[in-house]
Each structure stands twice: as structure tokens, then as C-alpha cells.
Amino acid sequence: MLLLLVFFQYGRDQAVFSVVGRTILEGGSPYKDAWDVKTPGIFFIYAGARFLFGTSQHAVRILEALNLLVLTWAFTIYSRRHFTGLWPGVFAGCLAVINHVQMKFWDTAQPESFGATALAWALVFATYQSNKDRKSSQLKQALSWALSGVLFTVAALLKPPLGGGILTSIAVVAFYRARANANESKLKQTLAVIISFSVGAVFLLTLVFLYFAQKNALNEVYETFFMYIPGHVGLTFSFQNAPGLLYLAIKHWLFSFSTFTSIGLVLCFLLPRCHVRELEGSAHLLGVIFFQIIGIGLQSKFFPYHYGVILPMTALLGAWGYTKLWNKVKRKWVLILAFLIAVSWQLYEKNIFRHAILQIQSVVNYDQRDSINDSLYTVYDQNANANRKVSEWLSQNTPPGEPVYIWGFQSVIYDMADRSSSSRYIYNIPQRAGWENKAARQILISELTSSPPSAIVVVHNDQLPHVTGNQLDSAKELESFTELSNFIAEGYTYVKSFEDMDIYIRKNDYY
């Protein structure tokens, strides 16, 4: 499963993250030099993947596979502390990998994919207990809680609701610490917990603030998160619909991904406890899951990747449930057979076997590689064949050192063609969104004028009503964007189309 994950290519979001990551490595800043709506944590992960493993689409997948191994490591430590030993943690890691990879390329390598590991280790550090001398123990305990605060903040920088679990950790740790040390002041103990977690969180937030201040990008950060995002969230969320949205979030969690894992979750709470700290460990995990459910309800889109943190945490509780069942069942082979059948059916239902077979064929058959990958990675409005052909054309027909511009949501072309964008807007949703487009359009025209692209690509059939608020595709939106349509008409000549993409080249460069 991990090997299959490494071969996954980009979806639309992954391409955006990669382009912003490349901008960071080149000395630029998110939001100011390459714009996206996501919080900054994921951009630094993609920058790190490019730095460590190169510029191919598989670089972040290698990091993602390693990330899942590190997640499993955290599960083993957590299970050893709160359950029967490390093996339930190993089982949970395997189940988490299966549930993760079944979401395939579009919904993996997302912020939640890495946030799950940050949260798992945040729980590990939050529940650390030192057994050495009192003074040394207190210092190590405070440092461990501070590291947990750092990791909760890492998760929040990947997706804000992921950081909500820090409140659960503070409450659970303070409660159990006060109960274990009944002779000490409860207020003093609680303050020690709160301060330690807060120091870690503030430390990392200060570093992030200083980074954007040094890049002179604080204004762009403010405009993105306080001007653009409220309108973006308002497209689908309202407080009136909140109860229904929360119900849907819970329903998808329990029934849309892995029935086998959900059954294990039920078993975990139905069967008797196996460890004195099991209740504490379960409460911690459920608290983290609670904030993720709230976050998904607020986003109100219910994309599979939004569950990228909940599913691993559920896998850990599910593994505990099945471990309890294992200890009670005399005929172990029956449980093993049921596991193999359930997981095999789950992977079959999600088309993982078919994807794996085709992926192997693409690796061993060079002549068929492009056609197979085009079929595997064409989904929704992403046309992998057209993206590849446009990228090849731009690589061969535009100067290497000059930028291009894509009027659409196909940022992968910048990466595949090895060309930079003439504008910070590496996709055009801000220019198409009704609550933001006036200011964003002015900035775009200013940037295109000051750095004219050698080619412009106009995309058709990329309607995205859940993020633009209308049914228009990029080509149709261009008709109402007079400044850009005039800019193209006056300075560029149409030369070629690849399926639903039209290429225009500078008139001075066209012969």
C-alpha cells in the first residue's frame, strides 16, 4: 500500500501546494508571491519534500509514506501507555495506511494527511510521565507539554480545526494530574499545564509571524484570512444549518470509509477495559476527533480528505476494539479470516486493486505509461492528458527563463512545464469569486503588465460552483473580465488547443 502511495501523482490541490513550495525554496513567500487559500503549514511540507527528494510528483509521496510510518510509531507508544502493548498500535498503523491509501491520489498528501501524525505525536508528548527525581521530572514534564503545544500548533497551521485538540489535552492532562497528586494545589497544577502547552504554541506562532514579517507578507496574510476566507466559508455554511451539517459529518465518518474500522470503534467501547489508563487514552482521542467533526461541519463540503485525521484516530480505537475481541475469541483463525475478507472487500469496493494493477503496468510498460497515467489521473475537471500536452508544448516553445500564465485551475502545468507564473495567482478562483474578484482582478492585471507572460493558457470546462459561487468556467468568466480579455487580444495570438485548453503566445514571439 505504501509503495502504491509513492506512485500516486498530483491532484489539483497537490499541484498548488507544490508550486507554492517551489516559491518558498526560491526565496518567495506564500500569499505574497504564490497565492492559495490554505494555511501555511502544508506549503512548508511540500517545500521540504522538494528539497529532500527532488522536484518530481513522487517527492511528496515519499515523504507521505514516511509520515505514515512515523504515525504508526506514535500509535505504538500511545498503545503501550494506554492499552495492552505496542502491537495494537502496529495494527492501528496498518489499518490507518489501508484507509488512507484507499482515498487515492486526489485526497491524499493533503494537510490532514500530515496533520494526523502531528496530532498523534502531540498526544504522545502530552501523556508523557517522567519517573525520575522530582525537580528533573517537573522540568521534563513541562518540556514534554511544551512540545505537545508545538505539535498541536503545527497541526493548526496545516488546518486550523486540527489545533483544537490542544484544549482536550489541557483538560485531560490537568484532570488526571490533579487526581494523581491530590495533595498539591489543583490551581497550581492546572496553571502549570496551561502555561507549558501555551509556551510551545506561542513559540511556533512567533516564528511563523517573524517569517512573514521578514518577507513583508503580513498584509497579504491578513487579506487572505480575514477578507477572502470569510466569503469562501459563507458559500456553504450557515449557523442555521449547523446541526444538519454536524449530523452529515458524523454520518460520513462512520459509514462512508471503512465499516470494518467503525465496527472496531464500537467494540472498543462495548467490551471491558484492558488497562487502567485506557479511559484517559480514549478520551484524548475522542476529544481530537470532536474538533475535527466540528471543523468538517464548518467547511460543510465533506470531501474525503477532510477525514484524513479522523480516520487514523478511529483506526487506533478500532484496533483496540479488535484486540479486545481477539482476547475473547478462542478460534483466532475465524477473526483473521474475517479481517482479510473485510479489508479485501473494502479495497475492491474502492477500486484499489484495479488502480494498483494499472500502476504496475505503467511502470513496466514504458510505451503505455503516459496513456495509463492519463486514465488514472483524469478525474473531475482535471484532464491529465491535456495537462501533459500543454506542459510539453510550453516547455518546447517558450523561453526557459520567462514566466507563463494559466487562466484556470491547473497549477500542475507550471510544475510540469518548469515555468514560473507571471502572477502570484497560480489559479484564478479569486478573480472568479464574487465577493473578492474586483481587488484580485486589479492585482492580476498589474502583475501581468509588469511581467508579461510569454504564453497564456485559457481553460474551458472547469466550473467550480462550491468555491466560486457561480456556474461559469474560466473561458466564460473571461468574457466579463474586460481588462484581461483586452490584454490577451492586444498582446497575444491564439496558436493551438489541447482538448479544453487554448494557448496564446505573445505577438512579438509569434512568427
Q: Which of 55, 411, 424, 405 is nearest to 215 (CA)?
A: 424
Distance CA 89, CA 118 (A): 16
d(CA 88, CA 323): 7
pLDDT band at 300 (very low <50, low <70, confident <90, very high): confident
Give the type of residue at 110.
Q
- Has residue 82 got a pLDDT over 70? yes
Question: In a 3-state reduction of DSSP, which class is residue 426?
Answer: coil
pLDDT for the residue numbered 236 = 65
> pLDDT class for 133, splitting at 50, 70, 90?
low
* Stretch 263-275: mean pLDDT: 94
Q: Which 3 state secondary structure label does DSSP give 493?
A: strand
Q: Give the end-to-end CA distance of the chain in Å, rounded to a whole number.
A: 50
pLDDT score recorded for residue 135? 63
Q: Using one digit for the tens of pLDDT, what is the confidence trace for 398-454? A: 999 899 999 999 999 999 999 999 999 999 999 998 777 889 999 999 999 999 999
User: What is the average pLDDT across 479-494?
Assistant: 95
Residue 506 confidence (pLDDT) above 70 = yes
Instruction: Check whether 320 has a pLDDT greater than 90.
Output: yes
- CB of 346 closer than 8 Å to CB of 102: yes
Cell numbers linked to 252: 460520513
Q: Which three cell numbers stand for residue 465?
A: 460552483
The pLDDT value given to residue 397: 94
Structure confidence by residue, pLDDT tens digits, 221-244: 999 998 888 777 766 666 777 888
pLDDT(335) > 80: yes
pLDDT category at 188 given cuts 50, 70, 90 is confident
Give 379's DSSP letter.
B
Mean pLDDT of the residues in the chain: 92
Buried/exposed code over 282-291 (b: 16+ C-beta within 10 A; e: otherwise):
bbbbebbbeb
pLDDT for residue 19 is more than 80: yes
Asked whether the predicted pLDDT for residue 74 surpasses 90, the reply is yes
What pLDDT, on a 0 to 100 scale, did the predictor assign at position 235? Answer: 64
Instruction: Residue 376: count other Cβ atoms within 10 Å of its Cβ.
Output: 19
User: According to the model, what pLDDT value does residue 178 have?
Assistant: 79
Q: Residue 22: what pLDDT?
A: 97
Q: Specify the pLDDT at position 401.
A: 86
pLDDT value of residue 134? 62
Q: Does residue 511 carry a pLDDT above 60? A: no
Are the C-beta atoms of residues 423 and 444 closer than 8 Å to each other? yes
Instruction: Provide, rounded to the nearest whole percent, the portion of the chain with pLDDT above 70.
Output: 97
Give the pLDDT score at 435: 73
- pLDDT at position 498 is 95
Q: What is the mean pLDDT of residues 91-114?
A: 96
Question: Which cell numbers hold the place of 253?
Answer: 465518518
Mean predicted confidence (pLDDT) in 279-305 = 90
Please report the sign of the dihedral spanned by the C-alpha atoms of residue 264, residue 270, residue 273, residue 277. positive
Predicted pLDDT at 17: 97
pLDDT of residue 245: 86
pLDDT of residue 469: 81
pTM over 0.85: yes
What are 51-68's pLDDT values in tens digits? Answer: 999 999 999 999 999 999
Helices (H), 455-499: 465-468, 474-480, 482-491
pLDDT of residue 510: 57
Q: Which domains does the chain possess? A: 2-328 (no CATH), 384-509 (3.40.50)
What number is the average pLDDT over the span 367-394? 93
pLDDT of amino acid 183? 73
Amino acid at 279: L
